[in-house]
Amino acid sequence: MALENDTTTEIEKPEKEVDFSGNYIEKFGKQDTRDQFPGAYVNWEKVGNSYIFHSENTSLELTVVTEDILKFRYGNFGYFEDDFSYGLDPDKKFEGVTSKFKETKDHFKVVTKTLKCYIYKDSLKTKICDTKDVILVEDEKGYHWQDEKVFGGNVVITTKKLKKGENFFGLGDKTGNLNLLGSRRELWGTDCYGYGNETDPVYKNIPFYLNLYKDTSYGIFLDNTFRSFFDFGKERKSACSFWAQGGEMRYYFINGPKLVDVCEKYTYLTGKSQMPPKWALGYHQSKWSYYPESTVRNLAKEFRDRKIPCDVIHLDIDYMDGFRCFTWDKKRFPNPKKMIGDLRQQGFKSIVIIDPGIKIDKNYSVYQQGVKNGYFCTRGDGPLLKGSVWPGECHFPDFTNPKAREWWATLYKGLISDGVAGVWNDMNEPAVFEDGSFPFDARHDYDGHPCTHRKVHNVYGSLMAQATCDGQNLYLDNKRAFTITRSAYAGVQRFASVWTGDNMATWEHLKIANIQCQRLSASGVSFVGSDVGGFIGSPDGELYTRWIQMAVFHPFFRTHSSGDHGDKEPWMFEEEYTNIVRKFIEMRYELMPYIYTTFWQYATRGTPMIRSLNLIAQDDPESYFREEEFMLGDNILVIPVSEAGAKNRKVYLPEGDWYCYWTDKKYKGKTEIEVETPLNQIPLFVKAGAVLPFQPKMQYTDEFEFDELTLHIYADDDENTSILYEDAGDGLEYKDGEQSVKKIITIKSLSAYIIRQKMQGNFESVYKKYRTVFHGFDSKPKMLMVDGNDITNQIELLDNTYTISLPKNFKEVLIS
């Protein structure tokens, strides 16, 4: 069925409840889906930062949010919905932005410092240009709608012109090609156990995409929680469309001109992540399920005895009493507080899973409270909604009710007093066994805007994560919350990290995980990882090793598996693989200062931690369709090995100079090379000019204080700046200035190489000095001066390079 065709459409495929174009259920038969349009302009008015243009059938509200962000809302027949959003950062106040306005015979023009927006009087179609009148995006059919007969509403649609050479990225948790051009995608959070590369939709719902065309870029954020669709030239190569099965057409245009600028501005709009506890960036071990207590203790002992670093052990649903949330099975875990305390002494944090389904049990206090206070979802005809999940028949909290969220937050008091350090939310699409999810007519509060589940489904998981995060903040006593969620909507980064769901132990899924993590990172959600080794099935040692090697460079780093498909602890494979896995997990901990700094850049500016090549080389057409190469932070290029038995693989290096991490061999960028891929290595390259901070190997985060931080400095002919961020690693003092930001600048002149350090903040790091290792320098220097002092005689040779000890507060190093 073609949504864009102005015809009466016959529904096909009766076995499917909803067809791909939108909303019509077969049993209702033939549906009238004729397009309706705004009509000609009648009058306009200005309210604050908004210009409201009224036409015969529709009103368009254009709001200047910032000089680079424009908001579009369409209200049919003069009616706008309440301007309420779960996706936007509630702390942001968008006021006082100046703009210019001009009316001509056939159009209006709204102008900011960077944009010109044209609104045409005959149709309310729009066109957005930069200050040089280069067209960024232009309506084709523009806004229109179709009567939706089944549910008594409208399908709201916007269609833009698609130029040859445009490319599309983002859209959050999606499988398939990284470049969305030529595809159609759906957002309807789904429990898709064992999904594949063609599965759509999957778990998360982030209606934000990025457009790249030549040297321009922009983003579109469709802030609508109904089931929605995006077509990037699949139906018609000349059109890009997005539509939703209800609600209001409300979207934000976000200007670049760089793709990474669009990512940052989108995150500014929807909210930034908080800094996590540093231990959450360590290695996590999980399985469905580790029980009883003796199994958990033995697991911890194995890690420490085998000297394989690990920070976190996860407990899946079998720790509960009959799968009742917020309880412990006292036979399996007779004294959880002592167990968790003992694990903490060994350097392990404990995370427990919590699902939304609350068992119907009159003797269960959580059930009693939810019923008594009206916190559970109801059916359309009044009674409490019931559905079967792990505990059997359950009721489900209405997380769109602020009082229910507050109540849910209080339920974490007991777990946190037991010592639980973080919470993992699952099954929150929401998933129900017999029906897949809630019925469409389930009722929700929606923060005072009552509605059905059709509007709530895509945001339900995010609101559960918000309530979970709030609960930890209530009881953690100045410690940082850590939440993981499977389902999510735009803005979830304010509350939680995510993982990519129930994947499989296959080489294809290693590739899928790589692309999903890149896409989510570009969509505001950088704190992301996959179930290493695959949740379903049993990897061999090679696949598990290659997956670990990739996941070292993903922000959330966890092995998780379904226990009935075999164990996936790092030592379950032949010793050859275990030794390599140990080496790479150790590398994760050595890189912790760099990874933590990269997270700070994300939390501060919204800069994606994982960056696809198109984000760093958008002027290079080769980057538009490269999928496996990615950057972690500013300076490390990672190329996973994604085929069994691979002895080498091709790698594309972006523009610039790059050093092979393993050999220090220097390569010119903007070219494809072939490199060897022995099992104990994956292709890693360091950007010339980088300064990479390394700490000593540890068995868990902050296992011990160390005297010396190692700086690896990679020579370059250009001036470069690297960042090192530090704080206590937990607690909230960093928000009050207990942090430090060090900028290390490298400059090559005709006669010398200069390294300068600029420091801000009052946090005092534990180490006393730097061990500085120089890469790519031709020979031992004749002179090395530190803050005016000659220390040439202290230079030490190290393999093919050299090293020297520097005071941590140095200001300038001169090498000649």
Q: Which active-site residues does the annotation give? A: 426, 429, 502
Q: Cα–Cα distance between 160 and 164 in angstroms, integer?
A: 13
Q: Cα–Cα distance between 25 and 19 in angstroms, integer?
A: 8
625 φ/ψ angles, rounded to the nearest 5 degrees: -125, 10
Q: Cα–Cα distance between 634 and 737 in angstroms, integer?
A: 24
**Rounded (10°) angle between helices 575-590 and 592-605:** 50
522 φ/ψ angles, rounded to the nearest 5 degrees: -70, -15
Whose tokens are 């020297």? That residue is 804
Instruction: Give residues with Cβ within 8 angstroms of 218, minimum separation 6.
Output: 128, 136, 137, 210, 211, 253, 254, 255, 256, 262
Instruction: Give residues with Cβ within 8 angstroms of 527, minimum separation 6.
Output: 273, 276, 493, 496, 497, 498, 555, 556, 599, 609
Q: Cα–Cα distance between 304 and 619 in angstroms, integer?
A: 48
CA distances, 332 to each of 296, 318, 328, 565 (Å): 10, 9, 8, 22
Q: Cα–Cα distance between 101 and 123 in angstroms, integer?
A: 19
Among 191, 200, 188, which residue's Cα sits nearest to residue 234?
200
3 φ/ψ angles, rounded to the nearest 5 degrees: -60, -35
Q: Do the beta carbons of residue 246 and residue 510 sit within 8 Å?
A: no
Q: Cα–Cα distance between 72 and 62 in angstroms, integer?
A: 5
Cβ count within 10 A of residue 647: 10
Instruction: Give residues with Cβ within 8 angstroms of 93, minimum separation 6.
Output: none
Q: Cα–Cα distance between 614 and 624 in angstroms, integer?
A: 6
Q: Do the beta carbons of residue 233 and residue 182 sit within 8 Å?
A: yes
408 φ/ψ angles, rounded to the nearest 5 degrees: -60, -40
Q: Cα–Cα distance between 299 and 286 in angstroms, integer?
A: 10
Among 557, 13, 488, 633, which residue's Cα sits nearest to residue 314?
557
Cβ count within 10 A of residue 477: 7
What is the bridge-based pairing of β-strands 708-714 and 671-676?
unpaired
Among 234, 227, 183, which residue's Cα sits nearest to residue 207?
227
In sequence order, the β-bridge partners of residue 69 are 66, 254
Please tell me what DSSP assigns to residue 390. T
